[in-house]
């Protein structure tokens, strides 16, 4: 790939405190973004290939429409809902609106961080190292499928599974830098006969059955059923939002009625437990109070919020609910946003990230050591080199940021000469 010419891109003024895509797109929310060596993130999204790059002042973006036939024909098995090229080419470019929607840019994130920090000293300690993390507004169906794949899985492998779903069942939009980009497959594409067996052959394991059965259930329901579970204050792309009906003052600790209904409805699907349901509610349906509790959040709850003892000694259904209520009581309507910051801080990929390195070298003078060995005099020149390495490591659970590591090495040269006889 050649040098990145950002003069050809459009740009949106946004600080890294309000949005950091290098963190937001890596913290387990969305699984289809690809980053190249030039620092460009790309994904097939809403019938286009969207590419992003960010510096401290701007978010740069460009959008490629679907390629003309025959590239738009998806691989077998085909998708019956291919992209409509004339609509994209003839209509107004709505990429900027899509970016505002997808990255949920309406709330001022720095104000929310200040609010959560004032309410929670633990958040106040951890958050400054993890600014700019926003909850994405994803399509509900994609979020549902992605988080069914997340069961007993890691972010890298989830991404591989989602990529296989798109390659095998999603419409091909085109190529960028020699790589094919497929949009996400709709429910009916995964509800066809033979899908479960195919997914098992692709390495999905027991998740293959859940994905196929859930696709069948969603396809059998009325159009828009999944979207009907969405928070009306956080609608799908292209739909006008309603004004908030609640304030933090009257916010129930268990969450709003609409959130509880959406959560209960999702639990009726195959492969969906409380954690997956909360992930979909938060990142696919816009319910900001949803708090997914997985192993990372359970560790946080035990270490920093006094769970893991007494009646909450293990992660039972009641303990799961108690953790959500605790965090909603601390952080309010957008508790899931605050939780995602602490979740990210708990991921190894971020906690072990080096942010700086300084090295000082001190060389001691040569030390000559004479040793008699048999009839020979052995002269050893010893050079000691002392290294003081300063590493700035992102370890959000330690208050002392930089650590000094002292490394001492010795270089030994040996010369032998025969001792003179008296």
Active site residues: 275
Sign of the Cα torsion 25, 26, 28, 33 reads: positive
- Alpha carbon 72 to its chain centroid, in Å, reads 29
Q: Spell out the residues 6+ positions from residue 328 whose beta carbon is closer than 8 angstroms to its own.
A: 251, 253, 254, 255, 289, 291, 335
Q: How far apart are CA 330 and CA 335, in angstroms?
A: 8
Q: Residue 162 burial by CB count (10 A; 0-12/13-18/19+): exposed, middle or buried? A: buried
Q: Is 47:66 a contact under the CB 8 Å cutoff?
A: yes
Beta strand pairing call for 34-35 and 172-176: unpaired
Buried b (16+ CB within 10 A) or exposed e, 43-59: bbbbbbbbbbbbeeebb
3-state SS, one letter per residue, for 248-268: HHHCCCCCCHHHHHHHHHHCC
Q: Strand locations in 179-238, DSSP E? A: 179-182
Q: How far apart are CA 41 and CA 50, in angstroms?
A: 8
Q: Is 66:86 a contact under the CB 8 Å cutoff?
A: no
Q: How far apart are CA 52 and CA 33, in angstroms?
A: 10
- Nearest-5° Cα angle at 218, 43 to 277: 70
Orientation of helix 295-305 relative to helix 335-345, angle to 10°: 90
Long-range contacts of the stretch 317-325 (C-beta < 8 A, 24+): 317/274, 320/274, 320/275, 320/293, 321/254, 323/291, 323/293, 323/297, 323/298, 324/254, 324/255, 324/278, 324/290, 324/291, 324/293, 325/253, 325/254
């Amino acid at each position: 790939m050649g040098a990145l010419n950002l003069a050809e891109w459009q740009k949106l003024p946004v600080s890294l405190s309000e949005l950091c895509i290098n963190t937001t797109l890596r913290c387990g929310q969305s699984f289809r973004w690809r980053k190249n060596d030039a620092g460009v993130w790309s994904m097939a999204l809403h019938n286009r290939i969207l590419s992003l790059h960010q510096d401290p002042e701007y978010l740069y973006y460009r959008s490629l429409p679907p390629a003309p036939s025959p590239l738009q024909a998806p691989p077998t098995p085909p998708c019956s809902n291919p992209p409509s090229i004339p609509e994209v080419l003839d209509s107004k470019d709505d990429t900027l609106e899509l970016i505002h929607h997808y990255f949920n840019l309406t709330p001022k994130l720095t104000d929310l961080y200040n609010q959560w920090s004032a309410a929670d000293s633990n958040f106040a300690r951890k958050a400054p190292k993890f600014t700019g993390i926003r909850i994405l507004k994803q399509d509900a169906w994609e979020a549902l499928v992605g988080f069914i794949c997340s069961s007993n899985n890691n972010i890298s492998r989830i991404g591989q599974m989602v990529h296989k779903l798109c390659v095998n069942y999603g419409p091909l939009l085109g190529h960028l830098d020699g790589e094919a980009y497929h949009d996400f497959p709709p429910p009916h594409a995964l509800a066809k006969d033979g899908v479960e067996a195919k997914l098992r052959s692709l390495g999905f394991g027991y998740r293959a059955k859940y994905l196929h059965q859930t696709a069948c259930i969603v396809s059998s329901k009325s159009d828009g059923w999944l979207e009907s579970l969405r928070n009306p204050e956080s609608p799908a792309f292209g739909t006008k939002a309603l004004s908030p009906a609640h304030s933090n003052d009257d916010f129930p600790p268990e969450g709003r009625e609409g959130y509880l209904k959406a959560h209960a409805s999702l639990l009726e699907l195959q492969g969906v437990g409380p954690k997956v349901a909360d992930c979909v509610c938060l990142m696919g349906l816009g319910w900001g109070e949803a708090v997914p509790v997985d192993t990372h959040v359970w560790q946080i709850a035990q270490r920093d919020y006094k769970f893991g003892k007494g009646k909450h000694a293990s992660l039972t259904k009641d303990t799961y609910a108690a953790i959500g209520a605790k965090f909603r009581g601390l952080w309010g309507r957008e508790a899931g946003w605050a939780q995602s910051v602490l979740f990210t801080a708990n991921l190894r990929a971020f906690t072990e990230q080096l942010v700086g390195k300084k090295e000082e070298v001190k060389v001691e003078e040569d030390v000559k050591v004479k040793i008699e060995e048999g009839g020979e005099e052995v002269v050893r020149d010893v050079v000691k080199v002392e290294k003081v390495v300063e590493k700035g490591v992102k370890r959000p659970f330690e208050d002392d940021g930089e650590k000094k590591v002292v490394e001492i090495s010795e270089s030994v040269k040996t010369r032998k000469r025969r001792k003179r006889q008296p």
